[in-house]
């Protein structure tokens, strides 16, 4: 009887482990600057967007929606271009909104600036720190630990059952 319970609870643990490893994290949609949108001076001051980003957790799959009125654009740039407000040649413009979805495997710093006039120098720049999300279930390697534990438990289980019989 004791041995049977041991097997059942071990199986239960494996089921729990499988459920935990297939848990999906929900992507979050952010509107950059919230109601202020994506704008330049005099509406915002230097550091405005990093204050907005402070305390938020960004993960791969999250999206950043830039919404603006008037003449602005969004350039995704390097750290150096962010710091120097480089007027890079590649940016998104057109319409009055742009949504950037962080790659699912994103991690580390991502930098966004507006290259119109001196908007970037005036604070229309955003740096976010993307934390890598939980090990993705779509990765090839993700099922390996589960298989390894399965193999381990089938090797350990007879010994556990034997021990319970000895205790009886
Ligand atoms: Cu601008």
**Range 14-23 contact pairs with CB under 8 angstroms and sequence separation of 24 or more:** 14/149, 14/150, 14/153, 17/146, 17/149, 18/146, 21/135, 21/137, 21/142, 21/145, 21/146, 22/137, 23/134
Neighbours of 91 (CB within 10 A): 18
Distance 28 CA to ligand 1 centre (A): 25
The string of pLDDT tens digits covering residues 90-134 is 999 878 999 999 999 999 999 999 999 999 999 999 999 999 866
Per-residue pLDDT at 47 exceeds 50: yes
pLDDT value, residue 93? 85
For residue 67, the SS3 value is strand
Distance (angstroms) between ligand 1 centre and the Cα of 114 equals: 5
Task: Assign 144 a pLDDT band (cuts: 50, 70, 90).
Answer: very low
Residue 137 has pLDDT above 60, yes or no: no
Distance from residue 148's CA to the centre of ligand 1 (Å)? 53
How far, in Å, from the CA of 157 to the mean position of ligand 1?
64
Write the CB contacts of 26 (distance below 8 Å, at least 6 apart in sequence): none
Q: Which residues of 21-37 are buried (b: 16+ CB within 10 A; e: fewer)?
A: eeeeeeeeebbbbeeeb
Q: Are 113 and 128 in contact (CB under 8 A)?
A: no
Which pLDDT value is given to residue 23?
46
Question: Which distant-in-sequence residues (6+ apart) come within 8 Å of 42 by Cβ?
Answer: 122
Q: Which domains does the chain have, with CATH numbers?
A: 29-131 (2.60.40.420)
Cα of 120 vs centre of ligand 1, distance in Å, is 7
Q: Percent of the chain, pLDDT > 90?
A: 60
Q: Which residues surround ligand 1, an ion (CB under 5 A)?
A: 40, 72, 114, 116, 119, 124
**Residue 107, pLDDT score:** 93
Q: What is the mean pLDDT of residues 47-58?
A: 96
**pLDDT number for residue 150:** 43
According to the model, what pLDDT value does residue 158 have?
Answer: 43
Average pLDDT over residues 147-159: 42
Q: How would you class 128 by CB atoms within 10 Å of its CB: exposed for 0-12, middle for 13-18, buried for 19 or more?
A: buried
- 24, containing H or E segment: none
CB of 53 closer than 8 Å to CB of 37? no
Ligand 1 center to 122 CA (angstroms): 9
């Amino acid at each position: 009887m004791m041995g049977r319970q041991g097997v059942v609870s071990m199986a239960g643990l494996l089921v729990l482990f499988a459920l935990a490893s297939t848990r999906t994290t929900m992507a979050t949609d952010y509107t950059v600057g919230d109601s202020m949108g994506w704008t330049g001076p005099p509406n915002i001051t230097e550091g405005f967007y990093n204050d907005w980003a402070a305390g938020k957790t960004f993960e791969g799959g999250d999206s950043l929606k830039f919404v603006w009125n008037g003449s602005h654009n969004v350039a995704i740039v390097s750290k150096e271009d962010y710091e120097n407000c480089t007027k890079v040649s590649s940016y998104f413009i057109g319409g009055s909104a742009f949504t950037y979805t962080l790659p699912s495997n994103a991690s580390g710093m991502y930098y966004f600036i507006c290259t119109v006039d001196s908007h970037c120098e005036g604070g229309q720049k955003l740096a976010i720190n993307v934390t890598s999300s939980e090990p993705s279930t779509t990765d090839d390697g993700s099922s390996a630990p589960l298989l390894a534990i399965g193999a381990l438990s089938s090797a350990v289980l007879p010994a556990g059952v034997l021990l319970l019989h000895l205790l009886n």
